[in-house]
Structure 1
Amino acid sequence: MSRGDGHPGIPGRGADGAGRPAPPAATAAPGEADTAVAGDTQGPLALGKLTSVVLDALAEGAAARGGPLPGGGPDAVAERLRAACAPVLPEHGTGAEEALRTVVRAVAEGAADPADPWCTAHLHCPPLAVAAAADLAAAALNPSMDSWDQAPAAAVLEQEVTAALAALVYPRWNAPDALITSGGTESNLVALLLARERARATRAAGAAGVRVVCGGNAHHSVRRAAWLLGLPEPVVVDCPGGRLDPAAVDRALAGLTGPALVVATAGTTDEGLVDPLPRLAAVAARHGAELHVDAAYGGPLLFSDRLAPLLAGLESAVSVTLDLHKLGWQPAAAGVLAVRDTELLAPLALRADYLNAEDDGEAGLPDLLGRSLRTTRRPDVLKIAATLRALGRSGLGALVEHCVRTARDFAVLVDAHPALRRRPGGIGISTVLFRPVAADAAPPAEGDALVAEVRRRLLAEGRAVVGRAVAEDADGTRRLWLKATLLHPRATGEDLAGLLDLAADAAARIRTTHAQEPEGPR
Structure 2
Amino acid sequence: MTVNGSAHGNGHVASSSRSPLQLEPSSTEAARVLPQVLELVQGFIASGEEPESYVAPWGSIPNFRKAISLSLPDTVPQNNDDALLEAVKLVFDNSVNPWTGRFLDKLYAAPTPVGIAADLVLSAVNANAHVMSASPVLSLAEERCVEGLCEVFGFTEKKADGLTMPGGSSANTLAVQTALANIFPRFRAQGLLGVMQQLIEEKRAPRPLLFTSSQCHYSLDKAAISAGLGLDSVIKVDCDATGRMDPNALDAALTAAKESGAGTPFLINATSGTTVLGSFDPLPELAAIARRHHCWLHIDASWGGPIVFSHIATYSDLMKGSSMADSITINPHKLLNVPLQCSFLLVRDADTLSANSLDAGYLFHSSDRRENAAMKTMGCGRRGDALKFWLYWVRYGKHGFGHHVDAGLHLASELVDYIRSKPDQIELGPLADPLFLQICFRPLQPANGVSDVSQNGNVVAKQLSGAEVKRRSAATQFVYQELKTRRMFAVDFAPLPNGIGDYIRLVVHPRTRMEDLKMLVDQVAEIGQLYWQQQQQA
TM-score range relative to shorter protein: 0.7 to 0.9
Distance 1:104 1:64 in 2: 24
After superposing the two structures, state which structure 1 stretch, 31-40 or 113-122, moved more. 31-40
- 162, 165, 170: which is aligned to 1:186? 170
Tell me if 1:252 matches 2:258: no
Where 1:481 maps in the other structure, the secondary structure is strand
Answer yes or no: is the 8 Å Cα contact 2:180–2:266 preserved in 1.
no
- 287, 301, 320: which is aligned to 2:307? 301
Aligned to 1:58: 44
Where 1:355 maps in the other structure, the secondary structure is coil
Inter-CA distance 478–317: structure 2 relative to 1 (3 Å threshold): same
Distance 1:361 1:265 in 2: 36
Letter in 2 for 1:290: W
Distance 1:503 1:36 in 2: 53
Where 2:505 maps in the other structure, the secondary structure is strand
Aligned to 1:220: 218
Q: Per-residue deviation at 1:449?
A: 1.1
Tell me if 1:451 matches 2:476: yes
Distance 2:52 2:415 in 1: 26
Write the deviation string for residues 74-108 of structure 1: whole angstroms up to 9, x where unpaired: 123223432xx4x3335435866323432232222
Letter in 1 for 2:238: D
After superposing the two structures, state which structure 1 stretch, 147-156 or 45-54, moved more. 45-54
Q: Per-residue deviation at 1:48?
A: 3.6
Distance 1:346 1:352 in 2: 14
Alignment of 1:147-158 (within 5 A): 147-158=131-142
Answer yes or no: is the 8 Å Cα contact 1:267–1:295 preserved in 2.
yes
Distance 1:174 1:90 in 2: 57
Q: TM-score by structure 1 length? A: 0.84
Where 2:284 maps in the other structure, the secondary structure is helix
Answer yes or no: is the 8 Å Cα contact 2:430–2:440 preserved in 1.
no
Aligned to 2:57: 70
- 372, 376, 385: which is aligned to 1:367? 372
Alignment of 1:346-357 (within 5 A): 346-356=354-364
Query: What is the RMSD computed on CA atoms of the aligned residues?
Result: 3.0
Where 1:421 maps in the other structure, the secondary structure is strand
Tell me if 1:121 matches 2:105: yes
Inter-CA distance 75–365: structure 2 relative to 1 (3 Å threshold): closer
Alignment of 1:88-487 (within 5 A): 88-89=72-73, 91-93=75-77, 97-201=81-185, 204=198, 206=202, 208=206, 210-232=208-230, 233-241=233-241, 242-257=243-258, 258-306=264-312, 307-356=315-364, 360-361=365-366, 366-417=371-422, 418-426=424-432, 428-438=435-445, 441=448, 443-472=468-497, 477-487=499-509
After superposing the two structures, state which structure 1 stretch, 299-308 or 420-429, moved more. 420-429
Inter-CA distance 110–509: structure 2 relative to 1 (3 Å threshold): farther
Aligned to 2:8: none
Inter-CA distance 59–406: structure 2 relative to 1 (3 Å threshold): closer
Inter-CA distance 218–467: structure 2 relative to 1 (3 Å threshold): same
Q: Per-residue deviation at 1:496?
A: 1.2
Answer yes or no: is the 8 Å Cα contact 1:135–1:383 preserved in 2.
yes
Tell me if 1:504 matches 2:525: yes
Distance 2:331 2:370 in 1: 30
Write the deviation string for residues 214-254 of structure 1: whole angstroms up to 9, x where unpaired: 11111100011101111152111211212111111111111
Distance 1:269 1:60 in 2: 30
Q: Which 5+ residue runs of structure 2 have no aligned equivalent?
A: 1-16, 187-194, 259-263, 449-466
Q: Per-residue deviation at 1:151?
A: 1.4
Q: Per-residue deviation at 1:380?
A: 0.8
Distance 2:279 2:536 in 1: 38
Distance 2:416 2:370 in 1: 54
Distance 2:283 2:367 in 1: 43
Q: Per-residue deviation at 1:200?
A: 2.0
Q: Per-residue deviation at 1:303?
A: 1.6
Q: Per-residue deviation at 1:40?
A: 7.5
Q: Per-residue deviation at 1:466?
A: 1.4
After superposing the two structures, state which structure 1 stretch, 254-263 or 137-146, moved more. 254-263
Where 2:333 maps in the other structure, the secondary structure is coil
Percent identity between the two aligned chains:
25
Runs of 4+ off more than 6 Å: 31-34, 37-41, 362-365
Letter in 1 for 2:267: L
- 68, 71, 88: which is aligned to 1:81? 68
Inter-CA distance 34–419: structure 2 relative to 1 (3 Å threshold): farther
Inter-CA distance 364–328: structure 2 relative to 1 (3 Å threshold): closer
Distance 1:363 1:316 in 2: 26
Distance 2:139 2:32 in 1: 27
Letter in 2 for 1:289: C
Answer yes or no: is the 8 Å Cα contact 2:438–2:505 preserved in 1.
yes
Answer yes or no: is the 8 Å Cα contact 2:146–2:161 preserved in 1.
yes
Answer yes or no: is the 8 Å Cα contact 1:38–1:47 preserved in 2.
no
Q: TM-score by structure 2 length? A: 0.81
Q: Per-residue deviation at 1:209?
A: 5.8
Q: Which 5+ residue runs of structure 1 have no aligned equivalent?
A: 1-30, 518-522
Inter-CA distance 47–139: structure 2 relative to 1 (3 Å threshold): farther
Answer yes or no: is the 8 Å Cα contact 1:466–1:484 preserved in 2.
yes
